[in-house]
């Protein structure tokens, strides 16, 4: 490889997205355009750089030596499939999309996928969004949160037990800070700023190793939103601190959370068996199931 080729190759490798013609000309102003074109053609022929089209822009992207070594052993079809899978990044690519983009027959696509998978170059994953679709990505790449569903999913299934346990812990923590410890019957005034925030709860969870899964503040907010919809906590807007301006930093407000005492208020239907009666829909004034003959009511009255 000549010096010019070397220089262009290292320039293309140094940029993740590749370089365009103008940049190469700018970096090597002494080279005539013809020599530059010849060098690029040579590199393209040996597969050291590849063409990438982004909109109307054509970029040259460097191919690492390891990858070059890997792809050199592949046939044309395998290499094409490999490239498409590689470009899909951590989002993965669906077989049908592969077929469409490669323009290869299904059998050849399947054969290539089988070969690449057998060599442990690619792996198949399932997406939580489309559980029936098989997505392919490089075996060295970890699937994105969109595909795995984030920390709330285990084996493409929403882990409700984990969510409930974590929600319970969050509720306990918020409750502990919602009312004065020396007299829980008391309440804090509006100016009180000691209610926990999502970032504080996140810190508590990671410090106390409540969860083995790494959780972001957004994940905690999702959990707290669920608790709000459970009627267990409520969200309080951060008050304006005159001395320091807004308590939260610029942008997103740092909401505080307060536990509610009325979450577990029972209903009058709890008192009577009719609330959870399994045959309530068939109960009427006459017939086999009537309130007068009801054995549940009889048991309830005798209790």
Partner 1 sequence: MAVLIQHGLATHAQTREGPRMVTYYSISMRNILRLQRAGLYLALVEERMGKDGLAVFRAIMLHGTMSIGAARGVVGFSRLGAPAKKKFNIAVAKLVRERFIVAVTAKDSVTRSDRVIQAEATEVAKLDAPPTAKDLLKIRERISLREDEEYHSTTIIGLKRGTAAASADDHGGGASKVLIGPDGRAIVLDGNGLVGTGGGAHAEAEAEADAVDDKQCFRVYHDRLDVFLRNKQVVNYFSDKYNDAAGVVLKTVLRLTEAHTRTCRDRMSERVTANQIMQSIPPDARLEDAVDMGDSGFMQGSADGSGDEASAGRARRGRAALALLELLRTDASGVLNRADERGAGVYRVNFERAAAVLRDQCVDALIVEKHGSVHARIVRVLRDKQKLDEKAVSHFAMLPMDQCRERLHELSLAGFVATVEIPRTADRNPSRMFYLWHVDPHRQASAALRLVFQAMSNIIQRAAKEADARAPLLAKARREDVMADPSLLAASERKELRVACAARQRLDVAAARLDRMLLLVHDIAPRAAAAAAAAA
Residues that bind partner 1 (CB under 8 A): 152, 157-158, 160, 163, 180, 183, 185-192, 222-223, 225-226, 229-231, 234, 260-262, 265-272, 274-276, 280, 283, 285, 290-292, 294, 297, 300-301
Burial, 5: exposed, middle or buried (Cβ in 10 Å; 0-12, 13-18, 19+)? middle
DSSP result, 45-71: HHTSEEEEEETTEEEEEE--HHHHHHH
We find the least distance from the C-beta atom of residue 200 to partner 1, in angstroms, to be: 18
Burial, 94: exposed, middle or buried (Cβ in 10 Å; 0-12, 13-18, 19+)? middle
Nearer to partner 1 by C-beta: 41 or 267? 267
Nearer to partner 1 by C-beta: 245 or 275? 275
Nearer to partner 1 by C-beta: 5 or 234? 234
We find the least distance from the C-beta atom of residue 246 to partner 1, in angstroms, to be: 17
We find the least distance from the C-beta atom of residue 251 to partner 1, in angstroms, to be: 23
Nearer to partner 1 by C-beta: 94 or 188? 188
Residue 284, CB-side half-sphere exposure with 13 Å CA sphere: 5
For residue 177, which of 155, 192, 159, 162 has the smallest C-alpha distance?
A: 192
CB of 223 within 8 A of CB of 174?
Answer: no
We find the least distance from the C-beta atom of residue 206 to partner 1, in angstroms, to be: 20
Nearer to partner 1 by C-beta: 35 or 237? 237
We find the least distance from the C-beta atom of residue 214 to partner 1, in angstroms, to be: 18
Interatomic CA distance for residues 140 and 163, integer angstroms: 29
């Amino acid at each position: 490889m000549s010096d010019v080729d070397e220089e262009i190759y290292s320039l293309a490798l140094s940029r993740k997205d590749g370089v365009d013609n103008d940049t190469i000309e700018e970096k090597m102003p002494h080279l005539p355009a013809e020599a530059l074109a010849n060098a690029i053609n040579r590199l393209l022929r040996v597969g050291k750089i590849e063409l990438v089209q982004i909109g109307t822009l054509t970029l040259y992207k460097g191919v690492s030596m390891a990858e070059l070594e890997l792809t050199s052993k592949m046939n044309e079809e395998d290499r094409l499939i490999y490239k498409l899978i590689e470009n899909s990044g951590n989002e993965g690519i669906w077989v049908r999309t592969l077929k469409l983009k490669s323009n290869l027959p299904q059998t050849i696509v399947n054969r290539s996928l089988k070969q690449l998978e057998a060599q442990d170059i690619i792996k198949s994953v399932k997406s939580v969004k489309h559980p029936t679709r098989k997505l392919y990505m490089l075996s060295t790449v970890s699937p994105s949160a969109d595909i795995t569903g984030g920390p709330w999913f285990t084996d493409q299934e929403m882990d409700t037990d984990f969510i409930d346990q974590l929600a319970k812990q969050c509720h306990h923590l918020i409750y502990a800070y919602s009312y004065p410890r020396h007299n829980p019957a008391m309440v804090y005034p509006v100016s009180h700023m000691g209610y926990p925030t999502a970032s504080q709860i996140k810190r508590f969870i990671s410090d106390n190793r409540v969860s083995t899964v790494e959780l972001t503040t957004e994940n905690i907010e999702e959990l707290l939103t669920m608790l709000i919809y459970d009627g267990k906590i409520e969200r309080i807007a951060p008050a304006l601190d005159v001395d320091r301006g807004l308590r939260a930093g610029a942008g997103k407000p740092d909401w505080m959370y307060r536990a509610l005492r009325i979450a577990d208020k029972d209903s009058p239907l709890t008192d009577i068996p009719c609330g959870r009666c399994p045959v309530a829909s068939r109960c009427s004034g006459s017939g086999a199931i009537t309130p007068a003959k009801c054995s549940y009511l009889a048991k309830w009255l005798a209790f």
